Amino acid sequence: MSEDGAVTKGPGEGGRLMRWAFRHLAGPAEGVQGAVQGGSAEAREAWKRDLAERKRHTREQRERKRAAREADRRG
């Protein structure tokens, strides 16, 4: 509490408008089947394939940049 007795909020906690919007517009958390578990087995497999593809792409980009830097050092 601050000196005048008002409760101070941390950064990112939001104000009255954010609390109202979250309470009234976000909707209930329950009722979404499989949201926490990741949905169906097919969706999980697709996510894993996508993640592997992204990692492969990132690895290739790093290798290209490394090769370009070494080429600049040599020539």
Q: Please report whether residue 54 resides in a domain.
A: yes
pLDDT at residue 69, rounded to an integer: 94
Q: Please report whether residue 33 resides in a domain.
A: no
Q: Which pTM value belongs to this model?
A: 0.45
Q: Please report whether residue 19 resides in a domain.
A: no
Q: Please report whether residue 73 resides in a domain.
A: yes
- Residue 46 CA from chain centroid, whole number: 18
pLDDT digits (tens, 9 = 90+) for 13-66: 677 887 787 777 776 665 555 555 557 888 888 989 999 999 999 999 999 999
CA distance 73 to 68: 9
Q: Please report whether residue 48 resides in a domain.
A: yes
Q: Please report whether residue 13 resides in a domain.
A: no
SS3 37: coil
CA distance 20 to 26: 10
Q: Please report whether residue 3 resides in a domain.
A: no
Question: Which residue range(s) make up the domain with 69?
Answer: 40-75
